[in-house]
Amino acid sequence: MTIKSSKSKKKTAKKKKLTSIRKRAESIPAKLEKALEECSATTTYLNSIINAVADPIFVKDRQHRWVFLNNAYCRLKGRSRDELIGKSVHDIDPKNEADVMWQDDEIVFDTGQEHVGEGERTDSEGIVHFTETKKTLYKNEKGEDFIVGVVRDITERKRMEVALQVSQRRFKLAAGSWHLGIWDRDIETGNQLWDDRMCEIYGTTKDSYPVTFEAWKKCLHPDDRERVVEERQAADRGDKDYDTEFRILHPDGSVKYIKAKGIMIRDTEGKPIQAIGINWDITEQKNLEEKLRNLSLTDDLTGLYNRRGFFTMGEPLLKLAKRYKNLVFLLYADLDEFKKINDVLGHYEGDQALIDTATIFKATFRETDIVARIGGDEFVVIFIVGKREDADIVTARFKERVKAHNNISGRAYKLSISAGISCYDPSDPRSIDDLLKQAEKLMYEEKMLRQKTG
């Protein structure tokens, strides 16, 4: 009884176990089908992402055969996916291009290192594209090697680079003919390149001079530095063209005048990436302009300003006096009996009298004062002092110098000068012509008084 009961229980347990195994076995196909569906959905999802990428993507096996391609790669090749999968570059591409790509693949397979290279690819229509390809080694769980590659079409960039190189060669040719210095600056890094002429202009060499913004800024004349830096920054922002003149402090101690122009090169999105420009030394031109200006503004005989120079320099001085509320005095002087000196002693002695008078004016007044000979024997001075009493002191000093000159000159005549003085008050501004008229009137009053008193 006990033995039969035990055998019955074993049979029941075995039956249950078999039933459980059978149920699990029956559920396997359904689970497998679900797993396959999930895997397919994941694969579809990944494929949709990869196919949405604009850059061509490919995967090759160890035999250099394509095993995966995205839509962009198929478009680049001009062929369908079915035409490419399982094929190699030697089946599709021109031999010279295929050989290069095959060798690049071998480098990645052999070294396991990432490889980036540029090359030409010809599509199905025979159009050549410049491309940049990045290849990476991938090893799956079975230990099999694959290459994953991403291709970028850089044809437009290459065309721009070639065009830029041509432009730069033409630019350098023209610059060399005109002795222009060429500079090139990377906007992102701030790094600059100078050619030999640029170094020559700034009195340095490529080995000894760090071509940085700070080093260049130190070369600028202190009076020009702030303005020129602001102009360069405005050009970098695109607010204005870079077209300016400035002075530099040359290592030999001289001051040089520089003309500078520059253009900004931008990428396809309008972002500035590079600035190219020229400098040329215009010091000789500036010196010549100054000489010509002096010739037109100065009196040949005395070296003082002439009438044109007097008005050219005097009118801005009155404007500054008005702005800063300074008193300005105008002294009008006339050489007495100048005609008599000319008629009796001759024009040579007349010229000497004018030169002596000019010398006394130069000795009495400051370099910043404006001293001019505006007529045959007429002289004027514009000068700034704090108050009327100071102006009277300066006038008295001038007359004392005239007396001192007469005592030692040894000439056959004595200098006699009549003078009148007018005042420019910024609270009641007047024109330079009005000041001249008033001072001239006072000068003639003094001259008449001298003639009456002998």
Question: Which residues is 381 bridged to in the sheet?
Answer: 331, 371
The H or E element that residue 274 is part of is: strand 272-281
In a domain, 18, yes or no: no
Rg (CA), the chain: 46
In a domain, 33, yes or no: no
Rounded-to-integer distance, Cα 68 and Cα 408, Å: 109
What are the structure tokens assigned to 412, written together?
Answer: 């056959």
Q: Helix (H, G, I), strand (E, B), or coil: what is residue 307? A: helix
In a domain, 9, yes or no: no
Q: Helix (H, G, I), strand (E, B), or coil: what is residue 145? A: strand
| Beta-carbon count within 10 A of 208 CB | 7
Tokens 């024009």 correspond to what residue?
Answer: 347
In a domain, 308, yes or no: yes
- Number of domains within the chain: 3
What are the structure tokens assigned to 374, written together?
Answer: 């505006």
In a domain, 275, yes or no: yes
Residues 180 and 125 in one domain: no
Residues 411 and 310 in one domain: yes
Residues 227 and 107 in one domain: no
Listed residue (269, 270, 279) closest to 247, CA to CA: 279
Domain termination residue (choose one: 259, 287, 315): 287
- Measured in whole angstroms, the distance separating CA 239 from the mean position of its chain's CA atoms is 12
The region, left, alpha or beta by phi > 0 then psi within -120 to 50, assigned to residue 118 is beta
Residues 168 and 251 in one domain: yes
Domain termination residue (choose one: 153, 188, 212): 153
Contact status, residue 182 vs residue 171, Cβ threshold 8 Å? yes
- Measured in whole angstroms, the distance separating CA 50 from the mean position of its chain's CA atoms is 43
**Which residues, 6 or more positions from 296, have their beta carbon under 8 angstroms from its beta carbon?**
308, 309
Range 260-290 burial, b when 16+ CB lie within 10 A, else e: bebebeeeeeeeeeebbbbbbbbbeebeeee
Residues 321 and 435 in one domain: yes
**Which residues, 6 or more positions from 273, have their beta carbon under 8 angstroms from its beta carbon?**
186, 187, 188, 265, 266, 267
What are the structure tokens assigned to 422, written together?
Answer: 């007018």
Q: What is the CATH number of the domain that holds 341?
A: 3.30.70.270
The whole-model pTM stands at 0.44
Rounded-to-integer distance, Cα 220 and Cα 227, Å: 10
- Cα angle vertex 446, ends 444, 450, to 5°? 115
Listed residue (345, 338, 313) closest to 415, CA to CA: 338
In a domain, 20, yes or no: no
Annotate 173-202 with DSSP letters as a single string: HHHHHTT-EEEEEETTT--EEE-HHHHHHH
In a domain, 250, yes or no: yes
Rounded-to-integer distance, Cα 336 and Cα 406, Å: 14
Residues 140 and 175 in one domain: no
Half-sphere exposure (Cβ direction) of 19: Cα atoms closer than 13 Å: 6
For the chain, what's the residue count?
Answer: 454
The H or E element that residue 15 is part of is: helix 2-52
Q: Helix (H, G, I), strand (E, B), or coil: what is residue 92? A: helix
Q: What is the CATH number of the domain that holds 76?
A: 3.30.450.20
Rounded-to-integer distance, Cα 66 and Cα 70, Å: 11
Residues 143 and 233 in one domain: no
| pLDDT profile of the chain (454 residues), mean per 10 | 56 62 57 50 62 85 92 87 92 89 92 88 77 89 90 82 70 60 86 88 84 88 94 87 93 94 84 88 86 80 93 90 90 95 93 96 93 95 90 93 93 94 92 96 93 76
Residues 148 and 171 in one domain: no
307-324 and 283-297 helices cross at what angle (nearest 10)?
A: 100
In a domain, 380, yes or no: yes
Residues 83 and 185 in one domain: no
Range of the domain at 332: 298-453
Tokens 């922002």 correspond to what residue?
Answer: 237
pLDDT of residue 386: 83
Residues 239 and 311 in one domain: no
pLDDT of residue 36: 44
Distance set, CA 61 to CA 67, 69, 81, 149, 151 (Å): 7, 12, 16, 12, 17
Rounded-to-integer distance, Cα 109 and Cα 117, Å: 15
What are the structure tokens assigned to 136, written together?
Answer: 């990476």
Tokens 């060399």 correspond to what residue?
Answer: 176
Residues 65 and 83 in one domain: yes
Residues 431 and 306 in one domain: yes
Domain termination residue (choose one: 112, 127, 153): 153
